[in-house]
Amino acid sequence: MSDRQLILVPRLSRVPEHEARARAVLHWLVRREIVEALPTTCGRGRGGMAYAIAAGARRVVQRPERLPFGQPFNGLEIITRRCIYTPTRDFHDEAGCPECRQEIGEAFFESLDEWTPGDTDNFTCPECGHENEVNGFLFLQPCAFSDLGFIFNGWEAAGFTPAFLEAFTERVGFAVAQVIVEP
């Protein structure tokens, strides 16, 4: 089984009513029996609390035999605070401007010191002056920056089906990034 986390993150810094949206998505996942209704100690985050994998998870992944049933870390953690979601290993810190197509990674990632506390949601390209929401820039590797994130512990090897990702995106209401993280 994989120790990797598969994280689904809206590509938006400030998701409107993010806590209510998190509850609605959780309720939807519980109704479909993808995760259990009550948290247990099957997570990796603060306190280790997460919503354990449920039998219906087999219906929403490409390789059900790779799901982390019986593993100590198999639950869904929901984050409702501003976070940076990037791969922890071999992340290249590369970003590009969607306007001028120049590499601006160093300046972009330095600017996240202002993004993290919520001072801004935008970044301005140092090459051409194009300003956009931070998630609107180009990245070679999947990453996202948001106040809402869904961390599926150990689900990476199973891989979500396109149909599930489409339904999940519809529930969240915004395009989502899939970020793979090794704890």
Neighbours of 170 (CB within 10 A): 10
In this structure, are 96 and 168 located in the same domain? no
Given pLDDT bands bounded at 50, 70 and 90, which one contains residue 46?
confident
In this structure, are 157 and 69 located in the same domain? yes
Predicted local confidence at residue 89, as pLDDT: 83
Predicted local confidence at residue 70, as pLDDT: 95
Q: What is the dihedral of CA 87, 144, 152, 24, to 10 degrees?
A: 170
In this structure, are 130 and 151 located in the same domain? no
Predicted local confidence at residue 3, as pLDDT: 81
In this structure, are 80 and 21 located in the same domain? yes
In this structure, are 102 and 174 located in the same domain? no
pLDDT tens, position by position, 54-82: 999 999 999 999 999 999 999 999 999 99
Report the sign of the C-alpha dihedral through residues 40, 172, 168, 159, in that order: negative
pLDDT surpasses 60 at 1 = no
Predicted local confidence at residue 69, as pLDDT: 97
Contact 53, 30 (CB under 8 A): no
Q: How many domains does the chain have?
A: 2
Average pLDDT, the chain: 95
Predicted local confidence at residue 38, as pLDDT: 97
Distance CA(66)–CA(159), nearest Å, equals 9
Domain of residue 166, residue span: 5-84+143-181
pLDDT tens, position by position, 117-160: 999 999 999 999 999 999 999 999 999 999 999 999 999 999 99
In this structure, are 63 and 46 located in the same domain? yes
Contact 127, 100 (CB under 8 A): yes
Task: Label residue 43 exposed, middle or buried (CB < 10 Å: 0-12, 13-18, 19+).
Answer: buried
In this structure, are 76 and 151 located in the same domain? yes
The answer for 12, left when phi > 0, alpha when psi is -120 to 50, beta otherwise, is beta
Predicted local confidence at residue 2, as pLDDT: 67
In this structure, are 74 and 149 located in the same domain? yes
In this structure, are 134 and 147 located in the same domain? no
pLDDT surpasses 90 at 9 = yes
pLDDT surpasses 70 at 112 = yes
Predicted local confidence at residue 20, as pLDDT: 98
In this structure, are 57 and 26 located in the same domain? yes
Closest-CA residue to 76 (of 113, 40, 115):
40
Predicted local confidence at residue 45, as pLDDT: 85
More reliable by pLDDT, 183 or 77: 77
Task: Label residue 71 exposed, middle or buried (CB < 10 Å: 0-12, 13-18, 19+).
Answer: middle
